[in-house]
């Protein structure tokens, strides 16, 4: 298999122009995605349909000269496979019937079966067969903490109050919840690599606002356990960690989890990153998604600034968080051209 620009960079190369892909590059800002989406009854059914999910994965690659495809799926398919009643309410986002402290986790443990997600493996194989060998395929899962916040809050949550409360009130049962998610995640990621994923990403989208002791316990430790288990089971591919919003804690995250690279949100400056991460530690990021949506002259200036700022270390160009549904396609075209120096 050819070494893609993405893999080369994650393995430590500083290329003249960084490879580029965009978080949420498949999705609602694309009219062809919105059209395809109407063919499935609900979002979970769409994710579990290999033909539709493979097509959604490929759609941005047909329009833009991106260096990677990211599997079309969702971090909440793991709770779904625990038997949780996952719904996506239009305009409101995901909803689940929450798990509470004191609840018996055995029913979730017993409900779990990798077979429930075997269609995702099928999507990965289809995409890998269709993709240009120069284009990397990224597999992913949510990190245990972020997945746990959805399981405990029953939806997305800014302050993650019930989850933080549980983590402090009953560390043992909270750790059992994290371990349940970890074990499923390891099996799920191994399946993705066997099916053709060449890079893995762990999304910790709700890693913000935690005190360092809790960050260590609910983010670093479970992430390290996942990466250690993957390595023990022969998974050698690069693994990008994305502890969004954790500021200076990227230092211990990079040092202690075993991840290959860190996805940076837009609040991180190259100058502070240089003080926090070893010299050659690869990073990914970190254009503000609002600059991309705005599409003013600042777009090209910000892109060039970021490339320049990170030119001293291996760097994958991306946003600091996902592209938003109202972003004009022309702005994505400008971004890809600008990153590639055209
Ligand atoms: O292009 C890609 O990035 C691949 C596909 C992908 C989706 N979700 C598709 C999706 C990926 C990598 C995710 C990850 C994901 N899902 C995260 C972590 C990344 C992040 O952005 O922080 C999180 C927190 C989720 C949970 C989730 N799924 C939420 C909060 C929502 C609702 C968002 C919204 O704006 O409605 C989803 C639904 C979802 N996942 C959509 C897509 C394209 C939109 C639903 C639809 O098209 O009907």
3-state DSSP percent of the chain in helix, strand and coil, to 5: 50, 10, 40
Segments forming the whole domain that contains residue 214:
5-339
CATH number, domain at 191? 3.20.20.210
Dihedral angle of Cα 120, 124, 127, 131, to the nearest 10 degrees: 160
Stretches in the chain below the pLDDT threshold 70: 1-2
Cα of 169 vs centre of ligand 1, distance in Å, is 30
Residue nearest to atom 2 of ligand 1 (CA): 24
Cα of 166 vs centre of ligand 1, distance in Å, is 25
- Alpha carbon distances (Å) from 44 to 33, 224, 306: 15, 29, 36
Cβ 88 under 6 angstroms from ligand 1: yes
Mutational pocket test of ligand 1: of 28, 53, 74, the residue with most ligand atoms within 8 Å of the beta carbon:
74
Cβ 43 under 6 angstroms from ligand 1: yes
Catalytic residue among 67, 74, 204, 208: 74
Strand partners, 139: 200
Q: Are 218 and 175 in contact (CB under 8 A)?
A: no
Cβ atoms within 10 A of the Cβ of 334, count? 16
- The whole-angstrom separation of Cα 257 and Cα 199 is 16
Domain count, the chain: 1
The minimum-distance atom of ligand 1 relative to the CA of 140 is 12
266-308 per-position pLDDT tens digit: 999 999 999 999 999 999 999 999 999 999 999 999 999 999 9
pLDDT at residue 90, as a whole number: 86
pLDDT at residue 1, as a whole number: 53
pLDDT at residue 216, as a whole number: 98
Q: Maximum CA pair distance of the chain?
A: 57
pLDDT at residue 126, as a whole number: 98
Cα of 245 vs centre of ligand 1, distance in Å, is 18
Cα of 13 vs centre of ligand 1, distance in Å, is 30
Active site includes 74?
Answer: yes
DSSP state of 67: S
Cα of 280 vs centre of ligand 1, distance in Å, is 31
User: Strand order in 283-287's β-sheet?
Assistant: 68-70, 136-142, 199-204, 239-243, 261-263, 283-287, 315-319
pTM value? 0.97
Mutational pocket test of ligand 1: of 23, 75, 154, the residue with most ligand atoms within 8 Å of the beta carbon:
75
């Amino acid at each position: 298999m050819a070494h893609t620009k993405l893999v080369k960079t994650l393995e430590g190369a500083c290329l003249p122009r960084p490879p580029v892909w965009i978080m949420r590059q498949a999705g609602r800002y694309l009219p062809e995605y919105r059209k395809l989406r109407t063919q499935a009854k609900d979002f979970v059914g769409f994710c579990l349909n290999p033909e539709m999910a493979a097509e959604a994965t490929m759609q941005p690659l047909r329009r833009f000269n991106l260096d990677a495809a990211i599997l079309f799926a969702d971090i909440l398919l793991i709770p779904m496979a625990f038997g949780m009643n996952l719904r996506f309410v239009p305009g409101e986002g995901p909803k689940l019937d929450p798990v509470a402290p004191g609840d018996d986790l055995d029913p979730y443990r017993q409900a779990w079966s990798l077979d429930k997600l075997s269609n995702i493996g099928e999507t990965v194989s289809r995409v890998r067969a269709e993709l240009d060998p120069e284009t990397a395929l990224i597999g992913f899962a949510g990190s245990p903490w972020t997945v746990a916040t959805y399981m405990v809050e029953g939806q997305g949550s800014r302050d993650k109050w019930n989850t933080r409360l549980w983590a402090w009130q009953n560390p043992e049962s909270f750790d059992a919840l994290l371990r349940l998610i970890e074990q499923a995640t390891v099996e799920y990621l191994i399946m993705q690599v066997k099916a053709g994923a060449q890079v893995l990403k762990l999304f910790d989208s709700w890693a913000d606002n935690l005190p360092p002791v809790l960050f260590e316990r609910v983010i670093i430790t479970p992430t390290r356990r996942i990466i250690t288990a993957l390595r023990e089971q022969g998974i050698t591919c690069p693994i990008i960690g994305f502890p969004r919003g954790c500021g200076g804690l990227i230092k211990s995250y990079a040092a202690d989890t075993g991840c290959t690279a860190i996805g940076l949100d837009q609040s991180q400056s190259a100058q502070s990153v240089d003080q926090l991460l070893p010299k050659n530690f690869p990073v990914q990021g970190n254009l503000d998604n609002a600059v991309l949506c705005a599409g003013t002259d600042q777009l090209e200036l910000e892109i060039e600034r970021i490339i320049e700022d990170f030119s001293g270390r291996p760097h994958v160009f991306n946003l600091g968080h996902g592209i938003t549904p109202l972003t004009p396609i022309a702005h994505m075209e400008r971004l890809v051209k600008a990153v590639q120096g055209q």
